[in-house]
Structure 1
Amino acid sequence: MLRPVPPACDHHLIDADLEESASHWITSLIRAGYQRERPTLWLLEGVAMYLPESSLQAVLQAISDLSAPESQLGLDEVTLGSLAAAGRARHQDRGRVIRHWRWGCDDPRPLLAAYGWQAEIYQPQRVCPERYPPSLPINAELGGHQTQRGVWLLMATNSYW
């Protein structure tokens, strides 16, 4: 949980379609004053599972190209079992949110390593018990108990450059 500390940075909103070329949002970032020589904190919360793998890889490449050493990346993602459940939900016209998931994996560390990120995976119940209490299984998108389904949180540091 983040402490209530006033930010010591500027905040600029830019619009971006992450399924299209990254050049638009990269240009917008630079015009807004982005300084690629300074470490950056990237947060892709609730993003990766909605992108096809090719778009996610393009975003990771762009972020990696823009990141100074010691930049950080926060990311959440669903497991392959959850992605399969999402496919069943889509087929059954159920699951308002999960039926839109398009990508997942059980271990994202090799993918991120290919872009110069060293990642650690965390179980959401340990990081944010208020959002994922033990009484609410993280693998119950459509009900039932299936251990192959779930989500994970990741924090990575960039050592690429």
Structure 2
Amino acid sequence: MSATLDAVERTALLTAALRATESRRPDRLYDDPYAAALADGIGPELLAEIHAATFPPGRERTLPSTPDYNAIRTRFFDDYLQQAARDPQTTQIVLAPAGMDSRAYRLDWPDRLRWFEIDRPAVLAHKERRLAAVTPRADRRTVAVDLTAPDWEDALQAAGYDPNVPSTWLLEGLLYYIPEADTHRILRRVAAISAPGSRIAADIVNAAALTRPDMRALLDVFAGWGCPWLFGTDEPEALFDAHGYDVRAAQPGETGADFGRWPDTVPPRDRADERRVFFVHGRRR
């Protein structure tokens, strides 16, 4: 039952609810037929709180649109992972954390690919119950361990991951929920078991997104759930460079990260004190 999930884990149900809502739109950017089941009853309740904060009745929206952001993020990383999978050298994809992600079920993947999902036991157990009757379209392997555990790398390798061949990692919906020191620790550990040429992708906010007054209503919702946003950076390229990755960072609304859906202007990178979110993607040197 979703009642066994803690505050941070329940954000995965929010993401599932957002994906279910997007999938019902006639102009949807993707179709996730499993999202509604994964969202359970909790996900729509969480989404209602986000919607109330983002679109206050009778007042102009001042917060970024979470539904549009999530739709763009999901499609952006859908395309990124599928592009990576078309490379004959790609044999391993790792989602860390996996949350309620259903890409292994709703998208087609080559037979050579091993698909690894790392997340806390309660999250993966919830997904297994909800999708028990569905067959994944990839060689899906679950690794039920917290990313803060001292030995998650051992558990991943026991599931069949090979650190000696290139891999593709997706850190989606993670980095702003953990302190800066933990962000560096996770990137360092991922890099240590990623062969040169491995791909990585992630989303991350900037520092102003954690402090601007016009973000407060949204930040208060997440803090009230017990999962505040803790880390942001204005230099995502430098963050990943410090751990051996050459990356690019795209903002929603920019070319290749828009899909006709981002409703706000995109602030230039050199303009200070603007809230931002980045889709980071690149390779291990």
- Report the TM-score, using the length of structure 1 for normalisation: 0.77
Separation of aligned partners in 2, 1:150 and 1:12: 34
Higher CA-based Rg: 2
Shift of 1:158: 0.3
Q: Which amino acid aligns with 1:19?
A: T
- What value does the CA root-mean-square deviation take over the aligned residues? 2.9
1:78 corresponds to 2:205: yes
Separation of aligned partners in 1, 2:264 and 2:188: 35
Separation of aligned partners in 2, 1:101 and 1:93: 7
**Partner in structure 2 of residue 107 of structure 1:** 235
**Partner in structure 1 of residue 277 of structure 2:** 151
SS of 1:13's partner is strand
Change (3 A) 1:61 1:34: same
SS of 2:144's partner is coil
Change (3 A) 1:128 1:18: same
SS of 2:157's partner is helix
8 Å CA contact retained: 1:76, 1:152: yes
**Partner in structure 1 of residue 221 of structure 2:** 95
Shift of 1:116: 0.7
Change (3 A) 1:94 1:26: same
Separation of aligned partners in 2, 1:48 and 1:38: 25
1:13 corresponds to 2:153: no
SS of 1:100's partner is coil
Q: Which of structures 1 and 2 has the larger relative contact order (alpha carbons within 8 angstroms, sep 6+)?
A: 1
Q: Which amino acid aligns with 1:13?
A: T
Shift of 1:133: 1.9
Pick from 249, 262, 285 the counterpart of residue 121 of structure 1.
Answer: 249
Q: Which amino acid aligns with 2:277?
A: V
Structure 1 runs of 4+ aligned residues shifted over 6 Å read none
Shift of 1:124: 2.0
More helix by share: 2
Change (3 A) 1:89 1:72: same
**Partner in structure 1 of residue 33 of structure 2:** none
Separation of aligned partners in 2, 1:34 and 1:53: 27
- Report the TM-score, using the length of structure 2 for normalisation: 0.46
**Partner in structure 1 of residue 169 of structure 2:** 42
Shift of 1:46: 0.6
**Partner in structure 1 of residue 195 of structure 2:** 68
Q: Which amino acid aligns with 2:238?
A: P
Shift of 1:6: 2.6
Shift of 1:129: 2.6
Shift of 1:93: 7.8
Question: 1:78-118 CA deviation, whole Å, 9 max, x = no partner?
Answer: 011101149x738x983337961110001111221111100
Q: Which runs of 5+ in 1 are unaligned?
A: 140-145
| Number of corresponding residues | 148
**Partner in structure 1 of residue 153 of structure 2:** 26
**Partner in structure 2 of residue 142 of structure 1:** none
